[in-house]
């Protein structure tokens, strides 16, 4: 069976790293993001390495765009067998005067998108009686922290959805798992650092050092480490792993 994968939020960071690794292993890879230039660049890299890639511009908070993306992927690459829900955003705010628009934007981007995209793709996997769904969550899906109520709620939701779908699709040979990274060396963390320098009056170096020290390994996690776990989960030998939330955090959260 030809493996056809869709990686959302694939223009940068974790998504780009996963898409590149999939492309090296003879998978047909669809990459999506809202910015065409980002995914075009990653798709070109995959093709240059001998892989097959399709860049699809898509806002995964909008069901009509998702439907169009799925149709295009199926026409060009075939029925999807692997889905990586990676698209997401971060944001922080004190709760007492929390901005409602920020709350809804984070929930839509991080949680609603996983619901919409998975709902669109799952029927193909059920029909083929095989599939792999990987949701990129966060250690914030397991623990809470101040000033990130919306982000924490969204990622807890992703973990709950992961477990529910794992139970629902287990008889269809579809595994559903979450990967839960700590702070990453990615553009998303660059945004967090910028926010810290503005609000906490910290230097960029001090902000990065603060985030690194949250891990017992005193470092930021790299996208390659998350991509490694994703590769493991799509392998046939990982068929016994479902409904799990695998931390990639240097020992920060041990459950």
Tokens standing for residue 86: 């990676």
With beta carbons less than 8 A apart as the criterion, state whether 25 and 2 touch.
no
Give the pairing of strands 131-136 and 82-85. Answer: parallel
**Pick the catalytic residue: 115, 116, 147, 151?**
151
Q: DSSP state, 220?
A: P
* Cβ contact 61:111 at 8 Å: no
Please report, for the chain, how many H helices and E strands are present, in that order: 9, 7
Record the tokens describing residue 10, joined without a space: 């694939």
Q: What size, in residues, is the chain?
A: 255
The answer to whether 151 is a known catalytic residue is yes
Closest CA to 32 of 101, 102, 80: 80
Give me the active site residues, please: 151
């Amino acid at each position: 069976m030809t493996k056809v994968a869709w990686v959302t939020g694939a223009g940068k960071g974790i998504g780009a790293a996963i898409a590149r690794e999939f492309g090296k292993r003879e998978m047909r890879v669809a990459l999506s993001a809202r910015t065409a230039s980002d995914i075009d660049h990653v798709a070109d890299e995959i093709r240059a390495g001998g892989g097959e890639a399709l860049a699809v511009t898509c806002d995964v908070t909008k069901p009509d765009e998702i439907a169009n993306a799925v149709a295009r992927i199926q026409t060009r690459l075939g029925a999807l067998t692997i889905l990586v829900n990676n698209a997401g955003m971060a944001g922080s705010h004190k709760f007492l005067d929390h901005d409602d628009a920020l709350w809804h934007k984070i929930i839509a981007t991080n949680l609603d998108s996983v619901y919409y995209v998975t709902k669109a793709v799952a029927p193909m996997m059920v029909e083929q009686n095989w599939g792999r769904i990987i949701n990129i969550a966060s250690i914030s899906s397991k623990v809470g922290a101040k000033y990130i109520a919306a982000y924490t709620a969204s990622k807890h939701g992703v973990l709950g959805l992961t477990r529910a779908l794992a139970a629902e699709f287990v008889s269809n040979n579809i595994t559903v798992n979450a990967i839960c990274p700590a702070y990453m060396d990615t553009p998303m963390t660059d945004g967090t650092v910028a926010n810290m320098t503005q609000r906490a009056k910290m230097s960029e170096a001090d902000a990065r050092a603060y985030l690194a020290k949250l891990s017992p390994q005193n470092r930021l996690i790299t996208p390659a480490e998350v991509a490694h776990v994703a590769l493991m989960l799509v392998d046939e030998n990982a068929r016994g792993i479902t409904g799990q939330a695998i931390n990639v955090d240097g020992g920060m959260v041990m459950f």
